[in-house]
Structure 1
Amino acid sequence: MRSATHSGSRAAQRTSDDALLARVQHGDEPAVRALITRYNQQLFRVARGILRNDSEAEDVVQEAYLHAFTRLDDFRHESAFSTWLTHIVLNQASNRLRKNRRRKAQLSQLAEETRTPSGATLVVFPTSPRPATPEAQAVRHEIQKILETAVDNLRTPLRMVFILRDIEGMSTNETAELLSIRPETVKTRLYRARQWMRSTLERSFAPCFQDMHPFEDKQCLDMADRVIITLAQRLNNAKN
């Protein structure tokens, strides 16, 4: 492939998928980079929604890109390139999940201690500009962990619909096509996922509400002093 330049990559970002794919077939590296940059976030979230592991999700996305770019002749242009890519990621992530489950089952038969616990990992959510203070950044990080844990704990059918619809912003029909389910099923699962998320987040954040907008002891005493002084002044004025 020809070497990439920053200007070439920026220009490619503004180009349609079809135009980029035509350039990819002629070995254009900036076009490959542009497509990867364009769909990395979406594909990573889809893969992680199934695997719930950052490193495995990255592996799947990389394998999906390799599969797609080496088999572009299989892309029939009957759907968007992003839809085709997402199908590949869904299939590869599902296959890996099945292999992981079989491997864990085999290991558990050999010895109980060989089971590998699954650790909590992070999803990269879209974020606002970096907070100005370490305290604000720490708070945002804690909120992000709560959100990630809530999404991870959704049942897989609900989690995939929630990720595609509410995080990736796909339409009901696009989600139905990707998951091979009816649009009505998408709507039902999304409703249940949102209800579950709302209930879970309410429980998670409820203890925080008591500490919101604290009125410190000194503030309380100062307020009492001001009220008493004002009342005394008004009482004196009334007597006079």
Structure 2
Amino acid sequence: MTALLKSDYAAFSDMELAARFGARDPMAVHVLTERHNQRLFQVAWGILRNHADAEDVVQTTYSRAFAAIESFRGHSSLSTWLTRIAINEALGRTRATRRRRARLDAHSVTDLDEYREKLMQGSNDRGGPESALAVKQVRRLLEFAIAGLPVEFRLVFILRHVEGLSIEEVAQALEILPATVKTRLLRARRRLQQTLEADVKDSLAGAFPFAGAYCAALTARAVADICGGKATPAKDP
């Protein structure tokens, strides 16, 4: 039997890839996670505004997807299905955090400097070229400006302008009407205009770098978790 190459997996339909993912096929897990890491991370960050927590949501999303893979029927794209899982996971963590805070002493306060440090966690502790890019003032300004948006505006803005989804795709991922997406986008842009200079807006395409060793590390963790440490087949020459 001829061994399949990575390019073969890349050509699989969503249903074929999902079936192999559910069968713990290491290359299927590798291709699936490599393909969706960035979007899931950005959606999770859009809700939680914390890099470490967003990474954890991505990992949990793959675990939950694996456990529920038989429920995937292809009615929506695999990407949309995974995005919904990530959104639900991140929102669940937000609700849990609010419940914990509600139990705290009513007189307790949040250290603003500590909050800002956590918000930027992951930006300054990466090695290599990605770290050099992350510490630039432009990225910090962009992340803080977007983090300041209400969550419903933040999600549509990230999916539409950072991930490049169409209005219809954003509506499907968030399970809202296209008209609602357009309204939230308009309001998000108006708010951002108050904090971003015109020349900074052109830098959005370079924000939230998520590639190289960073992306590979999440993929390796997912393969180890789902496939029980099986080695990933070699890539195409």
- TM above 0.5: yes
Paired letter, 1:73: E
Q: 2:51·2:119 contact (CA, 8 Å) conserved in 1?
A: no
| Correspondence 1:218-237 to 2 at 5 A | none
> Match for residue 197 of structure 2?
202
Question: Which residue in the other structure is 2:108 paired with?
Answer: 112
Confirm whether residue 47 of structure 1 aligns to residue 48 of structure 2: no
Radius of gyration: which is bigger? 1
Residue 159 of structure 1 is matched in structure 2 by 154
The residue aligned with 2:9 is 12
- Structure 2: gaps (5+ residues): 124-128, 201-237
Q: Structure 1: how far apart are the matches of 2:187 and 2:52?
A: 29
1:143 aligns with 2:138: yes
Deviations 1:203-222 (A, max 9, x none): 997xxxxxxxxxxxxxxxxx
The residue number in structure 2 matching 1:181 is: 176
Q: Distance in 2 between matches of 1:171 and 1:138?
A: 28
Residue 69 of structure 1 and its aligned partner are, at CA, apart by: 1.2
Q: 1:176 deviation in Å?
A: 1.5
Q: Which residue of 2 aligns with 1:121?
A: 120
Note if contact 2:52-2:121 (Cα within 8 Å) is conserved in structure 1.
no
Q: Once the two structures are superposed, what CA deviation does each residue of 1:34-84 show, in whole Å capped at 9, x if it has no partner?
A: 100100000000011001111111111111100101221111210000100
Whole-Å separation in 2 of the counterparts to 1:155 and 1:139: 23
Matches of 2:135 and 2:53 in 1, distance apart? 25
| Partner Cα distance (1:120, 1:166) in 2 | 21
Deviations, residues 135-178 of structure 1 (Å, cap 9, x unaligned): xx679811111111111011111111101111111111221222
Larger deviation, residues 23-32 vs 78-87: 23-32
TM-score, normalised by the number of residues in structure 1: 0.69
Task: Flag the 1:74–1:115 CA change in 2: closer, same or farther, 3 A.
Answer: farther
**Does structure 1 residue 38 correspond to structure 2 residue 65?**
no
Residue 192 of structure 1, CA deviation: 1.4
Number of equivalences: 190
Residues 157 and 17 (structure 1 numbering): CA distance in 2 closer, same or farther, change over 3 Å? same
- Corresponding position of 1:66: 63
Sequence identity (%)? 42
Q: Which one of the candidate residues 64, 86, 90 is aligned to 1:89?
A: 86
TM-score (norm 2): 0.70
Corresponding residue for 1:78?
A: 75
- Within 2, Cα distance between the matches of 1:139 and 1:76? 39
- Hey, what does 1:217 align to over in structure 2? none
Structure 1 pair 64–139 and aligned structure 2 pair: CA distance change class (3 A): closer
**Higher relative CO (CA 8 A, sep ≥ 6), structure 1 or 2?**
2
Question: What is the CA-CA distance between 1:8 and the residue it aligns to?
Answer: 4.2
- The unaligned stretches of length 5 or more in structure 1 are 125-129, 132-136, 206-240
Give the letter for the 1:32 counterpart: V
In the alignment, the residues of structure 2 paired with residue 74 and residue 121 of structure 1 have an alpha-carbon distance, to the nearest angstrom, of 36
